[in-house]
Structure 1
Amino acid sequence: MSFDGFLTRALVFELQNLVGGRINKIYQPFEQELQIVVRSNRKNYRLNASIHPVYYRLHLTDEKPANPTHAPMFCMLLRKHIENAQILAIQQVENDRIVECLLSGRDELGDQQTYRLIYELMGRHSNILLINHEDKIIDCIKHVPASQNTYRTLQPGGLYIYPPHHVGQLNPFNDTEMNQLAQDTNLDLQTWVKNIQGLSQIGQASLMAQVEQENIYRLSVLERFKLGVLKPQPQTIQTDNKWLYYFYPLKHVQGKITEYANLSELISQYYDEKVRHDRIKQLSGDLIQKINEILKRNRLKLAKLEQDYQKAEQADLYRIKGELLNTFAYQVEKGQDQISLPNYYEADQALLIDLDPRKSVSENSQTYYRKYTKYRDAIRYINEQRDLTFAENDYLEGILVQLERANIEDVESIKEELAQEGYASQRKTATKKRAKVKTKPRQFHSTDGTPIYVGRNNQQNDELSLKLSPRNHWWLHARNIPGAHVIIGSDKPSDQTFTEAAQIAAYFSKFSQSANVPVDTVQVKALHKPNGAKPGFVIYEGQRTLFVTPDETLINQLAE
């Protein structure tokens, strides 16, 4: 996990802006999340914390989630004790993932009291606790009885004890323990790195890579890490199968690097995206799996159709054999199982024809004519089935693209569309009248200020392209690729606007990670929807094709 002791220390330095401020508001929007609004230096800061077993984190945020009608008990208790309290200090415990906020406030009798609000960011053991001046637990967001943890009990009224220390690990920010690390350099590098407290596997790999690749003394690299805490360079790296982040450049990892102004911005965006994907996956259930199964079945069907087509292509050969048997019937002797007859369609070349010795010449000829008729009709059927299957694959692959880019509110409308098309069961609750949140198309603005609209799902694509947009505005779509409909809100957009809109169309398509993506553009009046076509499908003529490479950074800048 990237959220290790070094990153926590860098974050604590970043949170020093809160020291001296007062706690104005306390919210608990979700069972495992807590938000505290701090007024400091004439500015409001939102300190967000989560004890999710996988996505545990602590950072500043601008997000204001909807809060429950009735605040949970832990939130009410915090409001009672530390609302309006002053933050005296924010500090890390050793080099561990434990952050303490030292607070000064008044109790219910008006007496001045000191409290500690402790954030323990430790995976499934994460917790948030309020401790009084006697080190007694006032309450915690997650209670842990003695039956679950024999080392310490996390219950109101219990004595607070720090989590157990990893045996053998040394704090590099403690002078005494740092000296011991200096003396342990005779250990092999991997063992020595594991002795450093608060260094995650990602950090360990980065430290070892710098020592080995740059041939630098191991203590010098460790000092780099310690200095990096004071001046972090937060970044994410996206590889083929992973998305990593750290407070320090991960030079040993190859991938797409995105840099951030501060750690809170990185953590907020990284986990917002991870949580979004998780919630979408939860909402869509087995929908994606079902679509992939249909696509797999269709690919097998297309392979089988191709085999049948190759056989059916021999239809004319069966007709010729039937004709030759009729023409040269006098040459066929009774009981023959094969005969070679001159083929007047191929410059009198001989054609070997198999016969059923139990049948007459006329019957054998009719057998070949029946095969000809069967395969002639089969070609028509095979072509129809191939067209239908390709169209269905394009539609379903487009749905997968939409789910990949979907917001949580988009998933429900996509599921309803699939139910209407017969790909998902219609829920009973869907038949009841209930308020629905109707989402608007995504909106961007080109560099010169021209609005650009992007459909979120197929039904919205149809509505945007065929109903809402003026006929002289411009429509774009990745050519022959599943993707979103894009509308330029102008009848005479600049070349730069065309290019930027084409990049947006390529980005919201199946080939979002590709270079030189073809994008077609026509005016809206050139669009037509065939009768019975699936949602989102249109035909057009007279298009101009642009070739662009999506630039995610630019697209994010153009987003409204």
Structure 2
Amino acid sequence: MLYLDGISINKLKDELSEVLTGRKVTKVFQYSRLSTSVFFGKLNLFFSCNASLPVCYLKDNKENAPETPMSFSLNLRKHLLNSIITEVSQLGYDRILVFKFRKLNELGQYKDYILYFEIMGKHSNLILTDKDGGILDLMKKFSLEENKLRVLLPGAKYSQPITEKKNSPAELSEESLEKMIGSPKEMVKSIEGLGMVAAKAIETTSDFFEVLNTKGTPTVYYNNRKITLASVFQVKNAGFDRKEEFETINRMINFYIEATKSSESYNNLFSSLLNVVEKEIKKNKRTLKILEKEMDKNKKYEKSKETGDILAANLYSIKRGQKEAVLFDFYNNCETTIILNPNFSPKENLDRYYKKYNKLKRGFEFNLKRYEQVKNEIVYLKGVKSFLEESSTMENLNTIKDELVVGKYMKAVKSLKKKKITPLNYGTIEFEGYQILYGRNNLENDNLSFKVADRNDMWLHSKEVPGSHVIIRWNGEFTEEVIFKGAEIAAFYSKTLPGEKVLIDYTLKKHLNKPKGGKPGFVTYNNQESILVVKPESI
């Protein structure tokens, strides 16, 4: 959880004010209906109104904006481009940041604008007004039926959300505060800008004034190697086994969002790719069931041939007009009754059974071949899903997207701009003088195994389980220790659970083969040996 109460936002406000005041707006981009960026040269002031993580901070990396600008970004550009940010403030200790801009227009007159960022969960919003508070545009528009407490539409007057009146923390006396210490609910109810996490951590009045008056120590807390909390100030009872401190709030937020994959663009792309893969897996599983039924229906094709053979052996005794014939079945050493069409000649009845045999046989063989193809398709898609779930960067997600587009699982988005080619990289680990490389998706696996690896490098992969291709660079010899380490890496990046035993195949790269038309990541190999390892919890 990224904890930002009103007091935390007050400190973020100070940090943003120090960096941004006096800077000129150079660009504005809107990435979705819930996120936008205002650029001051290379500084990217990012706003997200996503209900799960509404936040404003100086973002380290730039996201890809849609080619067609959204209406809100056009209005921001119209009014804010080339303006100077004159002030960053906060409405009391409420979770509302205020950005004031001044711009010189064509007539040589100064025009003032205000950008309000309301951090309020699903009601979070970014609102642009003139100097008198007249709303020019806003990110999320609400009808009167949706929001009866205030009007949030262009042309209306901006008003602060209606909240319970609380005491400003800056005006609290030590005596009145003393009465509330030890009762977090009472503190949250009475003190503006104080949240429950902070209230529970405050044990004395000095704790409170330290939180209020110091710059704070942005800290990320871990428990069992997972981030449990990110806070602007130290939290004594956070229930953690490790913590990491940051120089600035912005650095902490950047780290938190990257580490927890909380970026809206990341989550949107991840969700869309996962949706595509899961739909394809379900579709292929339905196809398997249909094929199984068809194969079951056609699997008795040999029976038609046997009937034809029996009929052929006794064709001389059959007359036109017979509806059936009782003949000796030399396959099962008994008599059998064969149904005939009285309108057909004996030869035509014979041909009918052989034609039925050939038709059923062709159908069975086609369905059997198709069944194997669909099974392999499901294995491949499960591998893609595994890589997707293990992804931690936009770069890797974009590579997986490229793979799905090449495989025609997704349509390529037509663009007037020249598409940037996602570079194919790979992970690297140094171990006892050896360089060990591993792919993070199927395209990287192919690239690593057939373009990066040398013929005498060692190749490792989990047997019959989707996972990374692992390459150990030739270093004169391959020790047992480095092969075991490579096997652990292959197990770690396979679709298995920590602590599970995984069989790893390994062979020299020269024994690999890429079948013509094979899916990305699919290889055949020979001269392999195997090693059984336990999947580690970390590498």
Q: Pick the TM interval, shorter chain.
A: 0.5 to 0.7
C-alpha deviation, 1:286, in angstroms: 7.3
Distance change >3 Å, CA 292–CA 80, structure 1 → 2: closer
C-alpha deviation, 1:285, in angstroms: 1.8
Q: How many Å separate the matches in 2 of 1:455 and 1:23? A: 41
Task: Return the letter of the residue paired with 1:408.
Answer: L
Alignment of 1:333-412 (within 5 A): 398-406=383-391, 407-412=396-401
Match of 2:167 among 167, 170, 175: 170
Q: How many Å separate the matches in 1 of 2:154 and 2:167? A: 32
Work out whether 1:443 is the aligned partner of 2:429. no
C-alpha deviation, 1:230, in angstroms: 0.7
Map of 1:28 onto structure 2: 30
Map of 1:52 onto structure 2: 50
Distance change >3 Å, CA 27–CA 140, structure 1 → 2: same
Q: The residue matched to 2:426 in structure 1 has which SS?
A: strand
Alignment of 1:279-298 (within 5 A): 279-285=269-275, 287-288=277-278
Q: C-alpha root-mean-square deviation of aligned residues, in Å?
A: 4.7
Map of 1:233 onto structure 2: 218
C-alpha deviation, 1:134, in angstroms: 1.8
Map of 1:184 onto structure 2: 180
C-alpha deviation, 1:24, in angstroms: 2.1
Alignment of 1:141-220 (within 5 A): 141-167=139-165, 169-172=166-169, 174-176=170-172, 180-185=176-181, 188-201=183-196, 203-204=197-198, 207-208=199-200, 210=201, 217-220=203-206
- Please identify, of 83-92 and 493-502, the stretch whose mean Cα deviation from structure 2 is larger: 493-502
C-alpha deviation, 1:155, in angstroms: 2.3
Distance change >3 Å, CA 89–CA 411, structure 1 → 2: same
Q: How many Å separate the matches in 2 of 1:70 and 1:233? A: 37
Match of 2:455 among 458, 471, 475: 471
Whether contact under 8 Å (1:170, 1:177) holds in the other structure is no
TM-score after normalising by structure 2:
0.65
Map of 2:72 onto structure 1: 74
Q: How many Å separate the matches in 2 of 1:412 and 1:74? A: 28
Match of 2:129 among 125, 128, 131: 131
Whether contact under 8 Å (1:484, 1:505) holds in the other structure is yes
Q: How many Å separate the matches in 1 of 2:442 and 2:127? A: 47
Give CA deviations for 1:414-433 in whole Å, capped at 9, x if unaligned.
657999xxxxxx67x69x9x
Give CA deviations for 1:317-347 in whole Å, capped at 9, x if unaligned.
xxxxxxxxxxxxxxxxxxxxxxxxxxxxxxx
Whether contact under 8 Å (1:397, 1:482) holds in the other structure is yes
Match of 2:209 among 217, 223, 226: 223
Give CA deviations for 1:503-525 in whole Å, capped at 9, x if unaligned.
76455334686699997765313
Map of 1:12 onto structure 2: 13
Match of 1:265 among 251, 256, 264: 251
Q: How many Å separate the matches in 2 of 1:517 and 1:256? A: 31
Task: Return the letter of the residue paired with 1:36.
Answer: V
Q: How many Å separate the matches in 1 of 2:420 and 2:484? A: 32
Q: How many Å separate the matches in 1 of 2:53 and 2:257? A: 7
Q: How many Å separate the matches in 1 of 2:515 and 2:131? A: 74
Q: How many Å separate the matches in 1 of 2:148 and 2:26? A: 37
Q: How many Å separate the matches in 2 of 1:477 and 1:514? A: 17
Match of 2:441 among 457, 470, 475: 457
Match of 2:87 among 75, 86, 89: 89
Whether contact under 8 Å (2:499, 2:537) holds in the other structure is yes
Map of 1:365 onto structure 2: none
Structure 1 residue runs of 5 or longer lacking an equivalent are 212-216, 296-389, 420-425, 553-560
Q: The residue matched to 1:28 in structure 2 has which SS?
A: strand
Whether contact under 8 Å (1:23, 1:82) holds in the other structure is yes
Whether contact under 8 Å (1:452, 1:489) holds in the other structure is yes
Task: Return the letter of the residue paired with 2:85.
Answer: I
Match of 1:508 among 483, 493, 508: 493
Distance change >3 Å, CA 67–CA 188, structure 1 → 2: closer
C-alpha deviation, 1:549, in angstroms: 5.6
Work out whether 1:486 is the aligned partner of 2:482. no
C-alpha deviation, 1:402, in angstroms: 1.0
Q: The residue matched to 1:135 in structure 2 has which SS?
A: coil
Task: Return the letter of the residue paired with 1:171.
Answer: S
Distance change >3 Å, CA 440–CA 6, structure 1 → 2: same
C-alpha deviation, 1:235, in angstroms: 1.1
Structure 2 residue runs of 5 or longer lacking an equivalent are 286-374
Q: How many Å separate the matches in 2 of 1:220 and 1:518? A: 58
Q: The residue matched to 1:37 in structure 2 has which SS?
A: strand
Distance change >3 Å, CA 456–CA 542, structure 1 → 2: same
C-alpha deviation, 1:404, in angstroms: 0.8
Task: Return the letter of the residue paired with 2:7.
Answer: F
Whether contact under 8 Å (2:440, 2:468) holds in the other structure is yes
- Please identify, of 449-458 and 64-73, the stretch whose mean Cα deviation from structure 2 is larger: 449-458
Map of 1:305 onto structure 2: none
Q: How many Å separate the matches in 2 of 1:526 and 1:98? A: 63
Distance change >3 Å, CA 101–CA 542, structure 1 → 2: same
Distance change >3 Å, CA 132–CA 548, structure 1 → 2: same
- Please identify, of 488-497 and 30-39, the stretch whose mean Cα deviation from structure 2 is larger: 488-497
Whether contact under 8 Å (1:238, 1:244) holds in the other structure is no
Map of 2:102 onto structure 1: 104
Task: Return the letter of the residue paired with 2:12.
Answer: L
Q: How many Å separate the matches in 1 of 2:475 and 2:402? A: 30
- Please identify, of 394-403 and 267-276, the stretch whose mean Cα deviation from structure 2 is larger: 394-403
Q: How many Å separate the matches in 1 of 2:497 and 2:239? A: 22
Whether contact under 8 Å (1:55, 1:271) holds in the other structure is no
C-alpha deviation, 1:47, in angstroms: 0.8
Map of 1:248 onto structure 2: 233
TM-score after normalising by structure 1:
0.63
C-alpha deviation, 1:533, in angstroms: 9.8
Give CA deviations for 1:145-182 in whole Å, capped at 9, x if unaligned.
43332222122232211112234x4332x224776433
Whether contact under 8 Å (2:429, 2:436) holds in the other structure is yes
C-alpha deviation, 1:281, in angstroms: 2.5
Q: How many Å separate the matches in 1 of 2:152 and 2:117? A: 13
Q: How many Å separate the matches in 2 of 1:26 and 1:520? A: 52
Distance change >3 Å, CA 90–CA 543, structure 1 → 2: same
Q: The residue matched to 2:12 in structure 1 has which SS?
A: helix
Task: Return the letter of the residue paired with 1:26.
Answer: V
- Please identify, of 403-412 and 510-519, the stretch whose mean Cα deviation from structure 2 is larger: 510-519
Q: The residue matched to 1:442 in structure 2 has which SS?
A: coil
Map of 1:541 onto structure 2: 528
